[in-house]
């Protein structure tokens, strides 16, 4: 039987939303206070959902310790207490939470091999969150049906 397991993680980072492709006025218009020159920060929450067959012996979709290790090594250690604009992923891309969500999805899709990566959700604040399930996908069975 197929089930889905979700785990929530946190990291704190700063960013500035500003595009060199826009004028100062346009940046201000598009990004508002998020374009302030010295940046600002958030306590991000990353919710990772993996899916797969429940192993008949272990009763688990995957070993949670493996998931924790993978997320910590590839995501938390990389972004926690950093300025996202200086991360190599964001040299040519604005570190909006949409782009961050896609970046985290691609890091986990590349490195996590113990179950299917179903969805990555990034909460920038308790009121704003973004979800990415991979190119052309809409997430788990909840949004498929």
Partner 1 sequence: MILLTRKAEFSASHYYWSEKLSAEENLRLFGKCANRNGHGHNYTLEVTVEGEVDPVSGFVVDLKELKDVIHRQVVDVYDHRHLNLEVPEFKEMIPTTENLAIAIWNRLEGQVEGAKLHRIRVYEMPDLFSDYYGEA
Residue 131 appears among annotated catalytic residues: no
Minimum CB separation from partner 1 for residue 92, in Å?
A: 33
* 3-class DSSP string for 29-92: HHHHHHHCCCCEEEEEEEEEEEEEECCCCCCCCCCHHHHHHHHHHHHHHHHCCEEHHHCHHHCC
SS3 49: strand
Collapsed DSSP state (helix, strand, coil) of residue 95:
coil
124 is catalytic: yes
Select from 29, 41, 64, 137 the one that contacts partner 1 (CB under 8 A). 64
Position among 23, 91, 127, 145 found at the interface with partner 1 (CB under 8 A)? 145
| Least gap, CB of 79 to partner 1 (angstroms) | 18
Residues that bind partner 1 (CB under 8 A): 1-9, 49, 54, 57-61, 63-65, 140-142, 145
Question: Where in the sequence numbering do the catalytic residues fall?
Answer: 34, 81, 124
């Amino acid at each position: 039987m197929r089930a889905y397991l979700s785990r929530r993680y946190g990291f704190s980072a700063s960013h500035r939303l500003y595009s060199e492709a826009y004028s100062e006025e346009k940046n201000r218009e598009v990004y508002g206070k998020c374009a302030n020159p010295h940046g600002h920060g958030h306590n991000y929450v990353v919710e990772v959902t993996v899916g797969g067959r429940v192993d008949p012996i272990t009763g688990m979709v995957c070993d949670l310790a493996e998931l924790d290790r993978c997320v910590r090594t590839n995501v938390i250690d990389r972004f926690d207490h950093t300025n996202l604009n200086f991360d190599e992923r964001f040299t040519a891309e604005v570190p909006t939470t949409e782009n961050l969500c896609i970046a985290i999805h691609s890091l986990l899709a590349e490195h996590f091999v113990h179950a299917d990566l179903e969805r990555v959700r990034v909460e920038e604040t308790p009121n704003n969150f973004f979800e990415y399930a991979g190119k052309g996908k809409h997430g788990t069975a909840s949004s498929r049906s």
